[in-house]
Amino acid sequence: MVQEQKPRYRVRLTRAPKDILRAQELRYRAFRGTAGGITPDGRDFDDFDARCHHVLVEETVSGALVCCYRFLHLDSGAEIAGSYSAQFYDLSRLGRMRGPMVEMGRFCVAPGQGHPDILRLAWAEMTRYVTRHKVRFLFGCSSFSGTEATPYEEAFLLLQQKHLAPRRWLPRVKAPRIFDFARNLRLRRPDLKQAMGAMPPLLRSYLVMGGWVSDHAVIDRDLGTLHVFTGLEVRRIPAARRRLLLQGAGV
């Protein structure tokens, strides 16, 4: 008799304080282990945690947390000024967008974990939420590790040439320290292999679904990252990719 094998990972949506604490501890290891903003209790936290839903991906057998992110539901673009991203980008153009939207944030995977099912389950949970609540727009800040742009020049070249936001939605500069890659990089053909290899996994996921980015990166010395505003209009996800997302989410 063949014994049925349990899935390696499981995903769940939570707002329980004990789960949020575990997410904050993982975020600390992922974002602040070698960066500034060290806290005595080893947690990465802010006031947005209490307003957000939190998604946890765990090992099924051990219960170990291998991935987490949080998301904030907004009823329309009229509420976008209260988002986390609006601290760093002028999003006034997006204020005209109608329909529900979701801001994804603090997405991280535990150091040493890279199984493809982790990212697949993380997106499956978001797909279920987007479908259930008829979300029209996903957005957030996609982070590159470190505050120097040079290692990511090929990636920024590709973003500059292929993935900038439509002008009607393009975020304006708000943060005091930025890397204006749309203006500062010499126009040339990027090395696609190097460019995609340097892209953070979350940003790669956005791009294959038709996502777009701001024309500048914010230098975030608190977290020790460079990040770009990233947006995805749900109705513009390619049909084949949409089918795969829905199939993976079981909806």
pLDDT average per 10 residues of sequence, the chain (251 residues): 74 97 95 59 92 97 96 98 98 97 96 90 96 98 95 96 97 98 90 94 94 98 94 96 92 80
C-beta separation of 199 from 153 below 8 A? no
Which token pair is 162?
């292929």
pTM for the model: 0.92
Burial class (CB in 10 A: 0-12, 13-18, 19+), 5: exposed
- pLDDT digits over 16-70, tens only? 999 999 999 999 998 877 544 455 578 999 999 999 999 999 999 999 999 999 9
Sheet containing 212-220: order of strands: 9-14, 53-59, 65-74, 101-109, 137-145, 225-233, 212-220, 178-179
Other CB atoms within a 10 A radius of the CB of residue 36 amount to 11
- Interatomic CA distance for residues 8 and 150, integer angstroms: 37
pLDDT at position 114, please?
Answer: 82
Class of domain 9-249: alpha beta
Nearest to 234 by CA among 96, 99, 82, 125: 99
* pLDDT score recorded for residue 180: 97
Locate the domains of the chain by residue range. Answer: 9-249
Tokens of 170: 């393009």
3-state helix, strand, coil in the chain (%, to 5): 40, 25, 35
pLDDT in tens, 206-216: 999 999 999 99
pLDDT in the model for residue 111 = 86
| CA–CA separation, 23 and 162 (whole Å) | 34
Asked whether the CA dihedral 53, 17, 225, 67 is positive or negative, the reply is negative
Helix (H) or strand (E) holding 150: none
